[in-house]
Amino acid sequence: SQPCRVLGSHPKFLQVGPHKTHSTRSIPAKSMGSEGSATSVGVQRVLDVLHLVVSLGIILAVDKFLKMAFVVAAIKFPSALFGMFCIFTILMILDSTVPAAAMSLMNFFEPALMFIQSWLPLFYVPSLVVFPLAVKDIPAASGVKICFIIVGGWLASLSVAGFTAIAVRKIVKTEMMDAEPMAKPAPFSSLEVWTWSGIFVISFAAAYFYPTVLGTSARTCLPFLLASTVLGYMVGSRLPSNVKKVFHPIICCALSADLAALAFGYLSGSGFNSILGYYLTEVSSDPGAGDVLMGFLGSVILSFAFSMFKQSKLVKRHAAEIFTSVIVSTIFSLYSTALMGRLVGLEPDLTVSILPRCITVALALSIVSLFEGANS
């Protein structure tokens, strides 16, 4: 009876064995579960990267194919704009016939669209970065005339577009509706900032000590000039909203690239203009950082088709205002610029170069070449 009383007075003593056994058995199970979870996360990340590469690669390939086809056919119309209308038309047809197919197509290209949206300002920067080279040979008097035409024309074009849209809206009596919510790209992480900072420092030092380590000066300067542009955009995107109103991230990354070119030109003795010339070479066999970024401009135009499709309900509802104001303001912008250039006595080649002043860069360059102006 005594042993029974001892055991009875300590009932938990009998549970020690089973409790320990249960605990030790659960540890491997939890470890295996965590390892499996980590593996699945790793696999998912790899699949996400592959999804991005494939979807973005298809858009780039389509843009490249259209450019080559238009060159062979001697068509001067912007190939990317044609591609955008084709993609939008396909999406609209699928949406009306097989909606599931349209949504599947949208979901497939979503990673590429988010990538383009995340880095969109960078693709417009090269023209601003090399702006000092573009204006160095322009007389001061012509520069003042250009500024007057651009600023005054910008205000006039906005007014024409706005009043046209309001007038058409009153005529057709369109009911207002909210736009569809659009997904926003995630902010840049500290790891991304430090990674690009490391690329900048290493490539800057390598270019300084080995000026032609990548074959040519332009290719050697490409990494640190590209990294400086990206870092400028990352820093600019982190600025407070009230600061961004004055100091936009596009301006920030353009200044960052110019400062990097200035610093390297000073330290290497090559000069600012020489290094800045490597930023945008416009030579496919010897590209600079700007050439890499501007290579995405056609893809940006193609991506607009997906953005328009997302807002197709809004576009349909306000089609009258949108298309009327766009057509009227575009015609006004082109002809008023040409007229003002002639009135103020601006050189014809410079007048042609600023004709598409209110059009996105991706199309403006094509329009300038269409009018046989100087791309600047």
pLDDT in tens, 282-339: 888 889 999 999 889 889 999 999 988 988 887 788 888 888 988 898 888 888 888 8
Averaged pLDDT of the chain: 82
Q: d(Cα 357, Cα 361) in Å, to the nearest integer? A: 9
For range 207-227, the mean pLDDT = 93
For residues 203 and 223, the answer to whether their CB atoms sit within 8 Å is yes
Specify if 51 maps to a domain: no
pLDDT for res 102: 92
250 belongs to a structural domain: yes
Report how far Cα 41 is from the mean position of its chain's Cα atoms.
28
Confidence band of 17 (pLDDT split at 50, 70, 90): very low
Question: Could you tell me the pLDDT band of residue 186, with boundaries at 50, 70 and 90?
Answer: confident
Please report the pLDDT score of residue 111 as a whole number. Answer: 93
Please indicate whether residue 333 or residue 223 has the higher confidence score (pLDDT).
223
Mean pLDDT of the 88-99 span: 93
Average pLDDT on 351-356 reads 76
Q: Is the pLDDT of residue 42 over 80?
A: no
CB 301 within 8 A of CB 151: no
Domain holding 335, by residue range, is: 121-370
- The rounded percent of the chain whose pLDDT value lies above 70 is 82
State mean pLDDT over 339-343.
88
pLDDT at position 246, please? 80
The amino acid occupying position 287 is P
Q: Could you give the count of Cα atoms lying within 13 Å of 336 in the half-sphere of its Cβ? A: 20
The pLDDT of 193-222, averaged and rounded, is 93
Residue 255 has a pLDDT of: 94
**What count of residues does the chain have?**
376
Structure tokens at 223: 């990494």
Burial class (CB in 10 A: 0-12, 13-18, 19+), 169: middle
Question: How much is the pLDDT for 373?
Answer: 43
The neighbour count for residue 200, using CB atoms within 10 Å, is 21
> Is 15 among the domain residues?
no
- Kindly report which listed range (90-94, 143-147, 254-258) carries the lowest average pLDDT score: 143-147
Tell me, yes or no, whether 72 lies in a domain.
no
Residue 195 lies in a domain: yes
CA angle 251, 322, 120 (to 5 degrees): 25
Residue 272 lies in a domain: yes
In a domain, 311, yes or no: yes
Please report the pLDDT score of residue 278 as a whole number. Answer: 94
CA gap 275, 268 in Å, rounded: 10
Q: Name the residue with higher pLDDT: 56 or 318.
A: 56
Residue 345 has pLDDT above 80, yes or no: yes
Comparing 6-20, 125-139, 165-179, the range with the smallest average pLDDT is 6-20
What pLDDT is recorded for position 310? 87
Cα diameter, the chain: 120
Q: How many CB atoms lie within 10 A of CB 334?
A: 18
Write out the two tokens for 20: 């320990």
371 pLDDT higher than 80:
no
Q: What predicted TM-score, i.e. pTM, was given to this entire model?
A: 0.76
pLDDT of residue 84: 92
What's the token pair of residue 349?
């080649």
- 198 burial via Cβ count (<10 Å: 0-12, 13-18, 19+): exposed
- Comparing CA positions, the residue from 313, 312, 203 lying closest to residue 264 is 203
pLDDT value of position 177: 66
Q: How far apart are the first and last CA of the chain?
A: 104
pLDDT at residue number 2: 45
In a domain, 140, yes or no: yes
- Which pLDDT score, from 0 to 100, does residue 92 have? 92
Structural domains in the chain (count): 1
pLDDT at 219: 93
Q: Above 60 in pLDDT, residue 8?
A: no
